[in-house]
Amino acid sequence: MTESTSVVAAKGLGLTFDTGDGAVQALSDVDLDITRGEFVSFIGPSGCGKTTFLRVIADLEQPTAGTITVNGTTPDKARKDRAYGYVFQAAALYPWRTIARNVALPLEIMGYSKGEQQRRIASTLDMVNLTGFENKYPWQLSGGMQQRASIARALAFDADLLLMDEPFGALDEIVRDHLNEQLLDLWAKTEKTICFVTHSIPEAVYLSTKIVVMSPRPGRVTDVIDSPLPKVRPLDIREAPEFLEIAARVREGLRAGHSYEEA
Amino acid sequence: MGRLAEGRLVPVLTVVLAIVVIWYGFSVLLNTPWQQGVYARADQAGVGLFQYLADVYSQQRPVLPAPHQVAVEFWNSVVNANPATPRSLIFHAWITISATGLGFLFGTVLGIVLAVLIVHNRAVDRSLMPWVIASQTIPILAIAPMIVVVLNSVGLTGLIPKALISTYLSFFPVVVGMVKGFRSPDALQLDLMRTYNASGAQVFWKLRWPSAIPYLFTSMKVGVAASLVGAIVGELPTGAAGGLGSRLLAGSYYGQTTQIWAALLMAAALSAGLIMLIGAVQVLTQRAMGARA
């Protein structure tokens, strides 16, 4: 791995929250390297720090120990360079803006010209299969469509890194399968690096080239699995033996890192 | 009929009817002592019930005028009087409404400006908010004459002093509502802006301001009613200069109770009209902002 292809590099990363109830260690001694073009899933039970880690990459939280670089620079500088798009658990679309205007929001803020905005709105909405919904308001769309619109919003500007925090967590399994397929397709088309937080083992295995298994109290990485699955993955790959093998390893990693008696 | 009962008209009319009935009842009750005095002085006795009611409901200066007397006075002073003369309620209402409008405008702008400062500056929040709240504990009725007199002595007369009292009453609901409105975007929406590296001004105009719009209209509805009260209170000490307040004061000087009630009716109609106007603007704005029809 050369320096130029490293998108995220964390060394001994730790984060301790000062709560009124004493210090809570959200992340402890996390070492991780993510290279350009990877699809990395973070999986683990609640409280394992997977969302916190994503937020540290995004400069929404400040680490209290260790070092992290994003695109070879600090997370703060990377954020100011608009190096990443962030997709939250909720779509967080502005209810007073149409879908097109929601996608235009980052473009307006970043000062794209009107013509360029129109071009990008059209192309990103096409990418998430929302063409024809430009003038609808968020409440007129289903939950899955809203989340697709929020992905379009994160794709609209030129960030090579896409951070996704349980984007499909609130959706039912049928919609989720469908969106997972579309996401893989999107990833292949855009060649972005994707960091994806999830609770679901099948989702993590199906999507990722690298699976980061985490455990709580304190949040730490217990296993990093490089997936041998091919880049093109039909949905029924989930019945393939390789798939089940990786899923078993993930499950084992989760079990090892988490004693359920204390939960 | 079933559809009518589901609407707003029937319940409202029922309440109005009940009020009118009770009003007529109290009108008899309260005006009886005077009527008895009249009969005693005239040595009249054994007046029939219908004659009695007719007499009680047509007193010149009743303690409580009957609804139809107020209605007749209202009709005469609104429709039959020349609007350019002080005999007309329209004349007075216009004076009051212009002070209300100006004061409301000042108050809304002041309220929004203060809310912006409070939301964006911790020091202002700590130092100003207690004063904003304290300002509303001062009884406006007590300081209104002082404000009018003080402003008169520096050469400000007529509309401005009254408008300032309106401002004083109407800025408060706007400050409180807009502070809440500007703070209504949740952490997620603010985080999103941070990921875009948006400037403070961009966060304000693209997120905080649109989020606060529903709060603005709610505050303005409270504020406009307070503005009207402020304008009327401001007119009390100015006396002859006109306006619903001076009409009320003149009515109470000369015992013209019917005139007072007519002026009160006009004030109520004005404030209802203003609130409905803001409601209409609110509906239009919300429609433009994509609210569910």
- Please give the Cα distance from B215 to B207 (Å, whole number): 14
Percent of chain B with pLDDT over 90: 52
The reply to whether A137 touches chain B by the CB within 8 Å rule is: yes
The reply to whether B292 touches chain A by the CB within 8 Å rule is: yes
pLDDT at residue number B6: 65
Spell out which residues of chain A touch residue B292, defining contact as CB-CB under 8 Å: 139
Beta carbons of B188 and A88 less than 8 Å apart: yes
Check whether residue B57 and residue B118 sit in a common domain: no
Side-chain-side CA neighbours of A95 within 13 Å: the count stands at 12
| Contact assessment for residue A17 and residue A208, using Cβ atoms and an 8 Å cutoff | no
Beta carbons of B188 and A92 less than 8 Å apart: yes
Confidence of residue A32 (pLDDT cuts 50, 70, 90): very high
The closest alpha carbon to B100, from B223, B280, B246, B260, belongs to: B223
B98-112 pLDDT, tens digit each: 999 999 999 999 999
CA distances from A213 to A80, A164, A230, A231, A236 (A): 29, 16, 20, 21, 23
Domain hosting residue B234, numbered range? 89-288
* Per-residue DSSP letter, A168: T
Q: What is the mean pLDDT of chain B?
A: 89
pLDDT at residue number A19: 81
Residue A44 token pair: 């683990």
Beta carbons of B195 and A84 less than 8 Å apart: yes
Check whether residue B99 and residue B235 sit in a common domain: yes
Beta carbons of B196 and A109 less than 8 Å apart: yes
Q: Rg for chain A (alpha carbons), in Å? A: 18
Residue to substitute from B192, B285, B287, interface A, most A β-carbons within 10 A? B192
| Contact assessment for residue A66 and residue A12, using Cβ atoms and an 8 Å cutoff | yes
ipTM of model over 0.90? no
Spell out which residues of chain A touch residue B212, defining contact as CB-CB under 8 Å: none
Is B71 inside a domain boundary? no
- Number of folded domains that form chain B: 2
Centre a 10 Å sphere on the Cβ of residue B5 and count the other Cβ atoms it contains: 10
Is B78 inside a domain boundary? no
Collapsed DSSP state (helix, strand, coil) of residue A59: coil
Query: Nearest chain A Cα to B189, which residue?
Result: A92
Check whether residue B100 and residue B216 sit in a common domain: yes
Confidence of residue B59 (pLDDT cuts 50, 70, 90): confident
pLDDT at residue number B269: 93
The CA dihedral of B95, B97, B100, B104, to the nearest 10 degrees, is -140
Query: Is 60 exceeded by the pLDDT of residue B5?
Result: no
Query: Nearest chain B Cα to A98, which residue?
Result: B290
Query: Is 50 exceeded by the pLDDT of residue A2?
Result: no
Q: What is the mean pLDDT of chain A?
A: 89
Spell out which residues of chain B touch residue A82, defining contact as CB-CB under 8 Å: 196-197
Of B12, B29, B64, which residue sits at a domain end?
B64
pLDDT at residue number B238: 63
- Please give the Cα distance from A107 to B187 (Å, whole number): 21
The amino acid that residue B86 corresponds to is P
Check whether residue B161 and residue B28 sit in a common domain: no
Query: Is 90 exceeded by the pLDDT of residue B241?
Result: no
Residue A214 token pair: 């985490």
Spell out which residues of chain B touch residue A195, defining contact as CB-CB under 8 Å: none
Model pTM score? 0.83
Beta carbons of A88 and B289 less than 8 Å apart: no
Residue B234 token pair: 């401001």
The amino acid that residue A10 corresponds to is A
Is B124 inside a domain boundary? yes
The CATH number that applies at residue B147 is 1.10.3720.10
Beta carbons of A106 and B290 less than 8 Å apart: no
Chain B nearest CA to A96, separation (Å)? 5
Spell out which residues of chain A touch residue B191, defining contact as CB-CB under 8 Å: 60, 86, 88
- Please give the Cα distance from A41 to A253 (Å, whole number): 14
Chain B nearest CA to A123, separation (Å)? 20
Chain centroid offset of residue A226 CA: 17
Is B83 inside a domain boundary? no
Residue B269 token pair: 């109609």
Point out the residue among B189, B196, B290 whose CB comes nearest to the CB of A92: B189
Chain centroid offset of residue B267 CA: 7
More confident residue, B172 or B4: B172
Is B143 inside a domain boundary? yes
Is B74 inside a domain boundary? no
Check whether residue B224 and residue B99 sit in a common domain: yes
Check whether residue B223 and residue B276 sit in a common domain: yes
Residue matched to tokens 């609770």: A199
Check whether residue B39 and residue B162 sit in a common domain: no
Domains, chain A, with CATH or none: 3-83+160-258 (3.40.50.300), 93-158 (no CATH)
Burial profile A126-136: b = 16 or more Cβ within 10 angstroms, e = fewer: ebbebeebeeb
The reply to whether A98 touches chain B by the CB within 8 Å rule is: yes
Is B251 inside a domain boundary? yes
User: Partners of A30 in the beta sheet?
Assistant: A13
Spell out which residues of chain B touch residue A98, defining contact as CB-CB under 8 Å: 290
Check whether residue B111 and residue B45 sit in a common domain: no
Burial profile A56-92: b = 16 or more Cβ within 10 angstroms, e = fewer: bbbbbbebeebebbbbeeebeebbeebbbbbbbbbbb
B residues 201-230 near A, CB within 8 Å? 202, 206-207, 210, 213
Check whether residue B49 and residue B124 sit in a common domain: no
- Please give the Cα distance from B252 to B65 (Å, whole number): 13
Check whether residue B52 and residue B106 sit in a common domain: no
Beta carbons of B207 and A139 less than 8 Å apart: no
* Per-residue DSSP letter, B7: S
Beta carbons of A109 and B210 less than 8 Å apart: no
Chain B nearest CA to A257, separation (Å)? 30
Check whether residue B277 and residue B146 sit in a common domain: yes
Query: Is 50 exceeded by the pLDDT of residue A84?
Result: yes
The reply to whether B284 touches chain A by the CB within 8 Å rule is: no
Is B177 inside a domain boundary? yes
**Spatial CB neighbours of B61, under 8 Å, sequence gap ≥ 6:** B255, B256, B257, B258
Spell out which residues of chain A touch residue B195, defining contact as CB-CB under 8 Å: 58, 60, 79, 84-86
pLDDT at residue number B239: 55
- Please give the Cα distance from B131 to B137 (Å, whole number): 10
B242-273 pLDDT, tens digit each: 889 888 888 888 888 999 999 999 999 999 99
Question: Using CA of residue B73, residue B75, residue B81, residue B87, what is the dihedral sign?
Answer: positive
Check whether residue B43 and residue B172 sit in a common domain: no
- Please give the Cα distance from B217 to B219 (Å, whole number): 5
> What region does A111 belong to: left with phi over 0, alpha with psi -120 to 50, or beta?
left
Beta carbons of A88 and B192 less than 8 Å apart: yes
Chain A nearest CA to B204, separation (Å)? 12
Beta carbons of B191 and A96 less than 8 Å apart: no
